[in-house]
Amino acid sequence: MAQVEILKKKSTTSKENLQTDRQTGQFPRTRMRRGRRTEGIRNLVRENILETRNLILPVFVEEGLDERVAIKSMPGVFRETETSVVDIAKTAQKEKLGALMLFGVSHHKDNTGSDSMRSGGLLGRMVSRVRDACPDLVVMADLCFCEYTDHGHCGPLTKSGTVDNDATLENISRQAVIAAEAGADIVAPSGMMDGQVGAIRDALDGSGFDETAILAYAAKYASNFYGPFRDAAGCSLQKGDRKTYQMDSANGDEALREVALDIAEGADMVMVKPGLPYMDIIWRVKQEFRMPTFAYNVSGEYAMLRFAAEAGALDYEKTMMEMLLGFKRAGADGILSYAALDAARILQR
Ligand code: PBG
C-alpha cells in the first residue's frame, strides 16, 4: 500500500517524468499484466515468432557405414549413411525446414584433406545425393578441413605446426567449387582463415558459380561447446588447439571486424557461433550490419539440454523452444540447431 502511494507521488508533472509516463506509463494506471491476462492477449502482443523456415538442421554423413550410428554425446543425433541422409533430407523438406547443413565424416583422411577436394569425394557425393533427392530443399555445405585431415586441424600445417592460412585458401576454394558443382545452394566456410570468403567468391565466380551463395562463419569462437561435435564428426585434434584461428571468447569488437571483412569479401549471409554464450554478439552483428544473420546453437548447447532433460532437471521440448526463440529475439534470422526437426514438429502441431 505504502509503495503504491510513493509511486503515485513520483508521477509528477516534471517534463522528464511526463516523457517517461508517455513511453511506459506508470503504476497503477499502467499494469503490464493486462497484456498477459489471457492466451489470446498474449498472442496479440507477442513480438517474436519462431517459424520452421528459421531452422537449419546440421547433418553428419559418414562414408562406409551400413547403418546410421547414434552419437553418444548428442542423444537423438546420428551419423547418417550416404543412403539414410536422403531420408533425413526428405523429412526436412516435408517439415519445411529452412535448410540442411551437411558435414562429412571421412574415412579417407590425410594431411591436407584431399578427399574433400576431388569430385568423387565424400563432400561432393553427399551434396549431390541430397540435391537430387530434394530439389526444393536449400542445401548448405560446410567447408572446412578438420573433418578430412588426419591431424584434425582446419587446413594444412606449416613446418612449425600452425595452420597455413594462404595454402588453406587455395584448398578451401577447391572445396567450394566441388560443393557448388554438386549442387549446393550455399557454401559455408567455417575454417576462420583470413581471406577465405574472398578466395571462395573468386573461385566460384571463376568457375561459373556466381549464383552460389556464401554463408560466412564470420564470428566463430574457439569454444569448449564444440566438444560433442568433434566426437560426432571424428575431428578431435591430435595436438594443440584452434586458438590461432578461431576467436578469443573475451572479444566482442573483434567480432564486428571479422563480420565487416567477410561482408567486404562478398559474404551473402553471416553467422555467429556458438550461440547461447554469444547472444550479445548476435545482437551487435544484427544491429550493426543488418545482414541475414544466423546463430549456431552448437553441439555442446544441445548436449547440455539433452542431458539435463534426461536427468529430469529440464523439460526438453519447452526449454528448447524457449532457447530457439531467444535467438530470434537477439536478432538471428535463422538458427542452426540439432533440435531443428524436433522444433519443426512442435511448431506444426
Ligand atoms: C568445423 C566445425 C566445427 C563445428 C562446426 N564446424 C568444429 C570446430 O570448429 O572445432 C562445431 C559445431 C558444433 O559444435 O555443433 N570447423
pLDDT in tens, 94-137: 999 999 999 999 999 999 999 999 999 999 999 999 999 999 99
Based on the residue annotation, tell me whether 220 is a catalytic residue of this protein. Answer: yes
Residue 5 is predicted with a pLDDT of 58
* Cell 521440448, located at residue: 317
**What is the CA(103)–ligand 1 centre distance, in A?**
9
Residue 1 is predicted with a pLDDT of 46
Fold of 54-348: TIM Barrel (3.20.20)
Return residue ranges of the chain for CATH 3.20.20.70.
54-348
Residue 231 is predicted with a pLDDT of 83
Nearest CA to ligand 1 atom 11: 226
Counting atoms of ligand 1 from 1, which one is nearest the CA of 220? 9
Choose, from 72, 94, 96, 273, the residue flagged as catalytic.
273
From CA 67, how far away is CA 288, in angstroms rounded? 45
Choose, from 220, 286, 318, 328, the residue flagged as catalytic.
220
Residue 238 is predicted with a pLDDT of 78
Nearest CA to ligand 1 atom 5: 190
Q: In testing the pocket of ligand 1, which one of 144, 145, 153 has its CB within 8 Å of the most ligand atoms? A: 144
Residue 16 is predicted with a pLDDT of 61
From CA 108, how far away is CA 121, in angstroms rounded? 9
Residue 18 is predicted with a pLDDT of 55
**What is the CA(328)–ligand 1 centre distance, in A?**
21
Residue 147 is predicted with a pLDDT of 95
Counting atoms of ligand 1 from 1, which one is nearest the CA of 338? 15
Residue 4 is predicted with a pLDDT of 55
Residue 210 is predicted with a pLDDT of 98
Counting atoms of ligand 1 from 1, which one is nearest the CA of 300? 14
**What is the CA(214)–ligand 1 centre distance, in A?**
17
How do the pLDDT tens digits run along the chain, 349 residues long? Answer: 455 555 555 555 556 655 655 667 899 999 999 999 999 999 999 999 999 999 999 999 999 999 999 999 999 999 999 999 999 999 999 999 999 999 999 999 999 999 999 999 999 999 999 999 999 999 999 999 999 999 999 999 999 999 999 999 999 999 999 999 999 999 999 999 999 999 999 999 999 999 999 999 999 999 999 999 988 888 888 788 999 999 999 999 999 999 999 999 999 999 999 999 999 999 999 999 999 999 999 999 999 999 999 999 999 999 999 999 999 999 999 999 999 999 999 999 8
Q: In whole angstroms, how far apart are CA 154 and each of 222, 282, 306, 314? A: 12, 24, 28, 35
Nearest CA to ligand 1 atom 10: 226
**What is the CA(99)–ligand 1 centre distance, in A?**
18
Residue 19 is predicted with a pLDDT of 60
Based on the residue annotation, tell me whether 15 is a catalytic residue of this protein. Answer: no
Counting atoms of ligand 1 from 1, which one is nearest the CA of 298? 15
Pocket of ligand 1 (CB under 6 A): 142, 144, 146, 154, 190, 226, 229-230, 242, 298-299
Counting atoms of ligand 1 from 1, which one is nearest the CA of 228? 14
The model scores a pTM over 0.75: yes
**What is the CA(51)–ligand 1 centre distance, in A?**
25
**What is the CA(12)–ligand 1 centre distance, in A?**
56
Helix/strand/coil (H, E, C) string of the chain?
A: CHHHHHHHHHCCCCHHHHHHHHHHCCCCCCCHHHHHCCHHHHHHHCCCCCCHHHEEEEEEEECCCCCCEECCCCCCCEEECCCHHHHHHHHHHHCCCCEEEEEEECCCCECCCHHHHCCCCHHHHHHHHHHHHCCCCCEEEEECCCCCECCCCCCCECCCCCECHHHHHHHHHHHHHHHHHCCCCEEEECCCCCCHHHHHHHHHHHCCCCCCEEEEEEEEECCHHHHHHHHHCCCCCCCCCCCCCCECCCCCHHHHHHHHHHHHHCCCEEEEECCHHHHHHHHHHHHHHCCCEEEEECHHHHHHHHHHHHCCCCCHHHHHHHHHHHHHHCCCCEEEECCHHHHHHHHHC
Query: What residues have CB less than 8 Å from 305, skipping those under 6 apart?
Result: 314, 316, 319, 320, 323, 339
